[in-house]
Amino acid sequence: MTTNQKLYGKDLSAYDDVDVDTLLSQLSPEEINILAKEVDPDDNLLPPSQRCSYACDKDPTGPLNRKKLIEHINKQALETPDKPELKPYVPGTIRGKKWIPPPPSAKEAEAEEQITIDLGDEYEHALSAATQEEIIDLAAILGFHSMMNQDQYHASLLSKGQPIGLGWDGITKASQPKPYPADPPNMTDPDTTIKQVQDDDHTLIDLNWNNIKNISEEKFTQLFEALPSNTHLETLSLTNTAMTDTTALKLAEALEHNNTLRVVNVETNFISPAVIVRLIKSLLTTKSIEEFRASNQRSQVLGNKIEMEITGLVEQNPTLLRLGLHLEYNDARHRIAMHLQRNIDRNRLRRMGRASRNYTIGFVMHRNSMQE
């Protein structure tokens, strides 16, 4: 059970319709200065000079002269005397008491003594006459993995014989990595797929723009404007497409009017945490998205405020089954995981109820046909 966050005795949703500009116009210049010192705009697009609460009241002495500043710093460093040492340093002399390690105790000395194990005459004779390869195979059979490298271990299991020069006293070499072919480039044509989405092509169910470079903002806009009228597209993948906040906001507006999309993937882009919240909030309108992924963005850390807001939005969504986001706080991870599990259980029970209802209908129809 979740509790709504409150501010001055009211829910935060009560302040959604408040006009901030009207409130700011009612403040005096002194009150605005006080507010600016206490409130962080939390906008990384602003320069640090505008986000810093410190304000210098002194008049400027002139433009910045970097050369004079460095000369002044060097002059101050040379003129400042070093702190005198309490005891002057003399090379070759020991200052203070030299630490001498204590002798080991009797128990430690006994533990370090070599332990002899009597294996019997038969085993002693067998091991003394065994070759180095046979001893390595025996170590592999007994599971002594730390005594050998991977090549020796796999050679013992496959009975291929030990590689030359890899005995107990041999040089262990790194295994050569197996080359794997690179993934082929995404050959999807954005213009063609945009035309298919606009025409509501029934053959286009999965749209994959992953890893396509240099997609213009105009093409994103054309795609997102066509999504509300599309009734066949179910999967939208936009991973590593350099999507920004501007295009992501247009995607959020499109998701609020689309009823057929089931999977949306916008991982590895340049979307800010606030816009991620806006995207997750847009899923509550139609409640048709079952999987949403938006990890690995420009800002790796969302922050406690953003994570709690995302948690509250996810707990209001009864259809979301999978969420791909990196959450730092355990409370947010636990609450989201519990809610997604409840959605999965609810979806499974709904499918089981539908299957049992269909079975009952089929059984009754079959019985009626047999009676006739």
pLDDT of residue 335 exceeding 90, the answer is yes
pLDDT of residue 297 exceeding 80, the answer is yes
Structure confidence at residue 90 (pLDDT):
83
Q: Which CATH superfamily is domain 190-352 in?
A: Ribonuclease Inhibitor (3.80.10.10)
The whole-number average pLDDT for the span 302-312 is 92
Q: What gap in Å lies between CA 322 and CA 122, rounded to an integer?
A: 63
Structure confidence at residue 342 (pLDDT):
92
pLDDT of residue 136 exceeding 70, the answer is no
Determine contact, residues 32/24, Cβ cutoff 8 Å.
Answer: yes
Task: Report the phi/psi class of residue 277: left, alpha or beta, with left for phi > 0 and alpha for psi in -120 to 50.
Answer: alpha
Higher model confidence: residue 85 or residue 285? Answer: 285
Buried b (16+ CB within 10 A) or exposed e, 202-234: eebeebebeebeebeeebbbbbbebbeebeebe
Higher model confidence: residue 101 or residue 264? Answer: 264
pLDDT digits (tens, 9 = 90+) for 150-188: 666 666 666 666 555 555 555 555 667 778 888 888 999
Determine contact, residues 322/291, Cβ cutoff 8 Å.
Answer: yes
Q: What gap in Å lies between CA 119 and CA 123, rounded to an integer?
A: 6
Radius of gyration (Cα) for the chain, nearest Å?
35
The whole-number average pLDDT for the span 128-132 is 73
Instruction: Supply angle C-alpha 303, 240, 192, rounded to 5.
Output: 135
pLDDT of residue 51 exceeding 80, the answer is no
The whole-number average pLDDT for the span 129-146 is 68
Q: What gap in Å lies between CA 158 and CA 150, rounded to an integer?
A: 12
* pLDDT, the chain, mean: 81
pLDDT digits (tens, 9 = 90+) for 269-291: 999 999 999 999 999 988 889 99
Contacts 24+ apart (CB under 8 A), 86-91: none
pLDDT of residue 57 exceeding 90, the answer is no
Q: Quote the percentage of the chain above a pLDDT of 90.
A: 41
Closest CA to 222 of 244, 254, 245: 254
Structure confidence at residue 1 (pLDDT):
45
* Domain extent listing, the chain: 7-55, 128-171, 190-352
pLDDT of residue 48 exceeding 60, the answer is yes
Q: What gap in Å lies between CA 36 and CA 135, rounded to an integer?
A: 76
pLDDT of residue 49 exceeding 60, the answer is yes
- For residue 246, what are the contacts with CB-CB under 8 A and spacing of at least 6? 217
pLDDT digits (tens, 9 = 90+) for 202-213: 999 999 999 998
Range scoring the smallest mean pLDDT among 92-106, 129-143, 237-251, 358-372: 358-372
Structure confidence at residue 163 (pLDDT):
56
